[in-house]
Amino acid sequence: MRIILLGAPGAGKGTVAELLTARYGIRQISTGDILRSAVAAGTGPGLEAAGFMKRGDLVPDELILAIMEKRLQEEDCRTGFILDGFPRTIGQAESLKKMLAALSMNIDAVVNLEVPEDVIIRRLTSRRTCSNRDCQAIYNIYTKPSKKEGVCDKCGSPTVQRDDETEEAIRQRLVTYAEKTAPLIDYYRNDPAFMSVPSLKPEPVIEAIAARVGQ
């Protein structure tokens, strides 16, 4: 099973991906993860990506695609994968389509997670993240609070609100999403694999995907 998850920041892509991974045993693949892994492994593309990242520059699409192509052919992706947060632009989507065709891979579902803006803002402003870089556990003061307020359950470090999860920052992120990433919905809309699902709770999303792919 191969799935692409679309949706604004805070739409629940991470939660849905986690549940799909548990249910079907498929891998969640994010751009950040594969870049960090390639850099840590010291591969040619990884070292090239590291140069861009150290300078604070965006890693070019062609380099991301080269790293992703290698990642999707690894053994743990043989039974399927979930692309979380990629593609982000129509250009990336077109390049991804060509790459998958060359690998004889089909996408079973392109899932757009629908969430009202006020819900997104509530979700993200209530997130708290462990300040320990080796932990980074995520909590929510409403739905998944730490046992002791302001303290990580896993390592005991302080939990903090990230700078990009204040209301002002989130509204700006949503503007950027509307300008650059939301057009992907129209790009995929006529694809037979496309589906748009309300994402107020993750469980109905999982069942809708299961019904679509017949598993």
**Of 70, 97, 122, 173, which one is the catalytic site residue?**
173
- Measured distance CA(212)–CA(109) in Å, rounded: 8
pLDDT at residue 184 in the model? 93
Residue 43 lies in a domain: no
Q: Which amino acid belongs to residue 59?
A: V
Residue 141 lies in a domain: yes
Do the bridges between strand 2-6 and strand 109-114 make them parallel or antiparallel, or are there none, so unpaired?
A: parallel
* Domains: count for the chain: 1
pLDDT in tens, 184-193: 999 999 999 9
Calculate helix-pair angle for 61-72, 31-41, nearest 10 degrees: 80
Q: Which amino acid belongs to residue 55?
A: R
Q: Is 90 exceeded by the pLDDT of residue 60?
A: no
- Measured distance CA(204)–CA(215) in Å, rounded: 14
Residue 158 lies in a domain: yes
**Of 2, 13, 71, 128, which one is the catalytic site residue?**
13
Name the helix (H) or strand (E) containing 107.
Answer: none
How many other CB atoms are there within 10 angstroms of residue 26's CB atom? Answer: 20
Residue 85 lies in a domain: yes
Q: Please give the share of the chain, as a percent, with pLDDT higher than 90.
A: 67
pLDDT at residue 32 in the model? 79
Residue 147 lies in a domain: yes
72 neighbors 66 (Cβ within 8 angstroms): no
- For the question of residue 13 being annotated catalytic, the response is yes
Region 60-66: mean pLDDT is 88
Task: Give the confidence band of 20 by pLDDT, cuts at 50, 70, 90.
Answer: very high
pLDDT in tens, 28-59: 998 878 888 888 888 788 888 888 877 777 78
**Of 88, 97, 122, 212, which one is the catalytic site residue?**
88
Region 59-73: mean pLDDT is 89
**Of 27, 71, 123, 127, which one is the catalytic site residue?**
127
Domain holding 182: CATH number? 3.40.50.300
pLDDT at residue 157 in the model? 97
**Of 78, 162, 171, 189, which one is the catalytic site residue?**
162
| Residues pairing with 83 in the sheet | 4, 29
Least confident of 39-43, 127-131, 132-136, 199-203: 39-43
- For the question of residue 88 being annotated catalytic, the response is yes
- Measured distance CA(161)–CA(148) in Å, rounded: 15
- Measured distance CA(196)–CA(7) in Å, rounded: 10
Domain range for 101 is 2-26+79-213
- For the question of residue 2 being annotated catalytic, the response is no
Alpha carbon distance, N-terminus to C-terminus of the chain: 9
Q: Is 90 exceeded by the pLDDT of residue 61?
A: no
- Please give the biggest Cα pair distance in the chain: 51
